[in-house]
Chain A
Amino acid sequence: MATITVDSKTEIGRIKPMHCVNNGPVKARTDQVRGNMELYTAAKIPYMRNHDASFYPGYGGEHTVDVHLIFSDFSRDENDPASYDFHLTDEYLANTLSTGTKIFYRLGSKIEHETKKYGTLPPPDFHKWARICEHIIRHYNEGWNDGHHWDIDYWEIWNEPDGAEDDADPYWKKCWGGTQAQFFELFRIAATHLKACFPTLKIGGPAVCGNDRPWADAFLRYCASHDVPLDFFSWHAYCPTPEGILHGADEVRKKLDSLGYDQTESICNEWNYILNWDTRFIESIETILSLKGAAFTAATILAAQDLPIDMLMYYDARPCVLNGMFDYYTLRALKGYYPFVMFSELYRLGTQIALDCDDPSIYAVAAKHGADTAVMAAYFQEADEEKTLTVTGLPDGKRVYLLDETHDFEATDSVVRNGRLTLSLKPYSVLLIQ
């Protein structure tokens, strides 16, 4: 028996954007490209990060997002509009914005797994690279080069530069082909230049593989000692438990504060359920695509709300092996889509209120807006047992909307009566009481 007690009089703070994702919707055309615009719009995702978009044909493939794909000839004049190809990136970002989702732009390259590397090699001239990025920002926010005024506020410098040791075989340098020192210098130059050009925008990075590794620590110390602007620090986590994903969040916050970055946001902008990347990778994908994966996603989102994390971005809403939201072939909603819809209801309400839960396998958050309240809960544990859950502190009439094997975020007959609701939860159930 588990109990959730809601105290709607005690406000904790705002509901944070924990339900952000990597990548945007796919827009159908009248040819062979189908779409998921309606589903994506209905999820009300606050931000999408456009990393690895260039893997997917529906986003523009090899002609989208990455700096070396937009500015494909590094020898050209960075001030010349003709040096840039924004066309398909414009289309991709416009499609995303039309759903109400904002852009978190990753400046850099997609990961490169092949033996020969292209876009992940250090740019030949770091200052020029920074100026190219500046022009990309001007295109999207200031209308330069037949551009737009889209108010894209997050600009991330690179992705996973810490993926391999300096002396690793080049094959393993999948995201950054240079040394640590080289990357620090690139980051310093680019962040300093972009912040000087755009003082109101959020410039940050670098999307490290692990937030608790020496590399990340060295990076933050370097930035602090060189007065590098850092509006957000981004990191990644792939684990099979919410606790594993969110491990280190407190330490990251403390480290940032201790180095003077007390206004710097801490953003986990890639995460998902992974047992390991080799022997249990297929098992991991099978889980991601299942109800268990959906419960994991919900539990992680809910747990993150109570930690010093400013934004959480699921990997990945792009049709790919790690997409638990949309079917790869039909783009129909999978179980893993619904946690985003459910959490968006809390986000809409806006204010987190106090909630006590006496069972560690139940992850829950409550929110309110005026007199309107809601609770989202996820039952996630590696055991196959039903659990009785009692919820108190909600007004009568609130109904349970359930995600489980036989319900896709659907209304049930369970309703709060006399200030109390009791129901039986099957393993990996997720519910929204509203």
Chain B
Amino acid sequence: MTEIRVDFRQKIKAMKPLHGFNNCARQVDYGEILPDFLRLRPPVVRLHDTAYPYGAGHYVDVHNIFPDFSADPDDPAAYDFALTDLYVKPLCENGIDVMYRLGTTIEHAPKKYHIFAPADPEKWAAVCEHIVRHYRAGWADGFSFSNMKYWEIWNEPDGLDPQIEPYGPPNWIGTAQAYYRLYAHTAKYLKQRHPEILVGGYSSCYILGRNEGGKWTQGDTRFFTDFLSFVKETGAPLDFFTWHGYLGNQGTKKIDREFGFVDRTLNDYGFFDTLRVDAEWNCCVCDVDTPNFRDQFYINMRNEKGASHIAAALYEMQRCGVDLALFYDAQLWKEYGPLFHVPELTKTKTYRAFEQFLRLFEAGGECFSTQDGDVYALAVGGTENILALANTSAAEQKVQLRVSGGGLPVRFRLCDGRHDLSELPLPELAAPLVLPPYSFCDITFDRQPQAEGARL
């Protein structure tokens, strides 16, 4: 028997905006955003791998916007904002903050094009500044989008081992020092000219170590610590630090390890106010022994197996204190885009996990709850008292709930293989709650005082 204790009287902290995404859901890159995506009210959308691959040649990436690096960075005619404008405008008009990744899309192919360290970092920074100016200060027939708030410098410069990527690192070809210099110069350059924006980086692909001999190996974190040293020594701004947290076989337990390490290390280097941002995450669940594990990832991202892990991950990120999280990815017709079934455009189970989290986010602040084994919990109190639970195992879980300060349960919703966060009859009050395999649910309470530690 699993036991979960909840106390709505113990306020822990405010809810974190963890329901952000990389990119958004549109039938085509230049088309309207799906209304059901907007209903998730994402706080932030990050623009990276937009219109993958290669930004379709004309979206977002610095080399797509400024295609001839020999051109004059002050000349508006040297820039092609057309399609990126189409992508960005409806996001901003719908009140969504944008994290613009300055840099380039990942490149898996054998020939590399744009992931090389810029030959002229100063000029590169000047180009980036004009991009900021276009979106925030109207330059070159631009806009005044104050919600173009976050400006991230590059993506995954800490690379991968060639045994995983046989054609070399897919994001950065250059030394670590070259990246640090690029970051420091660009961050200062942008911040001096646009003090109201937030600058940061670097979307670490593996924050706990590095890839050694084809295996993700914890231990060598010098890329990260040397980066922080460099930033500190040069006085470069670091308004936010980004890392990537794909959960794999370790599941949600990885969240605490990674966030804990990021948090402690940033504090050690004096970056107390730097936002801790998980800029790419997803649950890569493979529940069968197969060499085609990636097929299983993509299948399970859309069903209750992945969705239960995603729900649990959201609770766990909230519990740890991640400041902002951006799920990878929201685009349609992409392997990592599991919010909607295509072509029907119906909501997947994963969509329901975000639908649940939105309700929690808007209901109040985090309250005390425990978790036990494969059962995760998040209690929220405020305008509503809600307890969310997720079972990430293949087995049914009987959960004894001990709830204080919540009131009487008035509503129960369940998402599992048969239900889509559907409202169901309230569970039997005296009996343990039975969570089906790979499921998540929430119980709303009427906020009336009950006996201490009352069983549900």
**A interface residues (Cβ-Cβ under 8 A, vs B):** 29-34, 56-57, 60-63, 69, 85, 87-88, 91, 113-116, 118, 281-282, 285-286, 289, 320-321, 328-330, 332
Other A-B pairs beyond A30-B166, A281-B343, A282-B344, 12, CB < 8 Å: A30-B164, A31-B108, A34-B292, A57-B53, A61-B54, A61-B109, A63-B113, A114-B30, A285-B342, A286-B343, A286-B344, A330-B292
A118 to B294, Cβ gap below 8 A?
no
B345 within 8 A of A: yes
**Given A57-B53, A286-B344, A328-B333, A63 and B82 contact (CB-CB distance below 8 Å):** no
B343 to A114, Cβ gap below 8 A?
no
List of A residues within 8 angstroms of B80 by Cβ = 116
**Whole-angstrom distance between the Cβ of B337 and the nearest chain A Cβ:** 10
List of A residues within 8 angstroms of B175 by Cβ = none
CA distance A40 to B29 in the complex (A): 29
Closest to B345 in A: A282
B319 within 8 A of A: no
B294 to A34, Cβ gap below 8 A?
yes
Interface membership of chain B positions 73-106, coded 1 if the CB is closer than 8 angstroms to chain A and 0 otherwise: 0000000101100100000000000000000000
B110 within 8 A of A: yes
A329 to B295, Cβ gap below 8 A?
yes
A118 to B166, Cβ gap below 8 A?
no
**Given A62-B57, A332-B295, A32 and B28 contact (CB-CB distance below 8 Å):** no
**Given A29-B108, A32-B108, A116 and B58 contact (CB-CB distance below 8 Å):** yes
CA distance A320 to B334 in the complex (A): 10
Mind listing 25 A-B residue pairs with CB under 8 Å? A29-B108, A29-B166, A29-B167, A30-B164, A30-B166, A32-B108, A34-B292, A57-B52, A62-B53, A62-B55, A63-B111, A69-B57, A88-B110, A91-B109, A114-B82, A115-B30, A116-B82, A282-B343, A320-B333, A321-B333, A321-B343, A328-B333, A329-B335, A330-B295, A330-B299
Give the contacting residue for B86; candidates A30, A115, A330; CB below 8 A: A115
List of A residues within 8 angstroms of B298 by Cβ = 329-330
A114 to B83, Cβ gap below 8 A?
yes
Closest to B80 in A: A116
Interface size on B, residues (CB 8 A): 36
**B interface residues (Cβ-Cβ under 8 A, vs A):** 28-30, 52-58, 80, 82-83, 86, 108-111, 113, 163-167, 170, 292, 294-295, 298-299, 333, 335, 342-345
CA distance A285 to B165 in the complex (A): 34
Main secondary structure, interface of B, reads loop
Q: Which 6 A-B pairs have the closest CB atoms?
A: A61-B53, A57-B53, A285-B343, A62-B54, A116-B82, A329-B298
List of A residues within 8 angstroms of B53 by Cβ = 56-57, 61-62
A114 to B294, Cβ gap below 8 A?
no
Closest to A329 in B: B298
Closest to A69 in B: B57
List of B residues within 8 angstroms of A330 by Cβ = 292, 295, 298-299
B170 to A31, Cβ gap below 8 A?
yes
List of B residues within 8 angstroms of A286 by Cβ = 343-344
CA distance A61 to B335 in the complex (A): 16
Closest to B338 in A: A329
List of B residues within 8 angstroms of A332 by Cβ = 295
List of B residues within 8 angstroms of A113 by Cβ = 28, 30
List of B residues within 8 angstroms of A62 by Cβ = 53-57
A31 to B166, Cβ gap below 8 A?
yes
CA distance A88 to B107 in the complex (A): 12
A115 to B82, Cβ gap below 8 A?
yes
List of A residues within 8 angstroms of B167 by Cβ = 29
Closest to A322 in B: B343
CA distance A91 to B344 in the complex (A): 34
